[in-house]
Chains A and B, each alone.
Chain A
Amino acid sequence: DSGVTQTPKHLITATGQRVTLRCSPRSGDLSVYWYQQSLDQGLQFLIQYYNGEERAKGNILERFSAQQFPDLHSELNLSSLELGDSALYFCASSVDSGGSADTQYFGPGTRLTVL
């Protein structure tokens, strides 16, 4: 158990809908990262938040957005869903002490299926 929690574990929805994925980082970790894992794209970095502020952005679609709240939990919002958005979405967290790459610890993931 990495200490990172994600809810829900599974999500099935229809095209055009909007969903919210939730992540709670390990205690003491200030950074939260979101990744998408799909068969065709592999594991891709989407976005990073540090202590409530966006820090780095990857291949995140405009239909997707994220935020990190004062209690450091994070939510990833996916809207206007398409079949191709079906994937495993991971959240990871790290201490982010500054000056070096802290190890990222991954949550169990949320499996999104868009029908």
Chain B
Amino acid sequence: AQTVTQSQPEMSVQEAETVTLSCTYDTSESDYYLFWYKQPPSRQMILVIRQEAYKQQNATENRFSVNFQKAAKSFSLKISDSQLGDAAMYFCAYYGANSKLTFGKGITLSVRP
């Protein structure tokens, strides 16, 4: 079974600075998808970014980008120019052949003004 590990429970970043959130996963599959979701205090799950494993190019969405290292099974999220609204819980998720999203335990990001 696939597992997703987010080893850092909490992180803090100064407003306007850059922060990287770590995620590793374990799988024997070669074709899969990885996601980062954001959960603000409202509890709504919001898609941040998506990466297809067959693509070598790292996905980017405005201030959000990933560092996808397939061999190392690592999928980190970089947030540039952090804003107060980025404060939330962030979940890394894996989607594979069993057609289900497997989530990590999440990391709480706080942004200092």
Contacts and interface: CB of A to CB of B under 8 A. Distances in A.
B11 interface: no
Interface in B1-58: 32-33, 35, 37, 42-47, 50, 52
Interface stretch (B66-74, B75-83, B97-105): B97-105
A48 B99 contact: yes
A48 B103 contact: no
Chain A binding surface, main DSSP class: strand
26 contacts: A35-B101, A42-B103, A42-B104, A42-B105, A43-B91, A43-B106, A45-B100, A45-B101, A45-B102, A48-B99, A55-B99, A56-B98, A56-B99, A56-B100, A58-B100, A92-B45, A101-B32, A101-B33, A103-B47, A105-B47, A106-B44, A106-B46, A108-B42, A108-B43, A109-B44, A109-B45
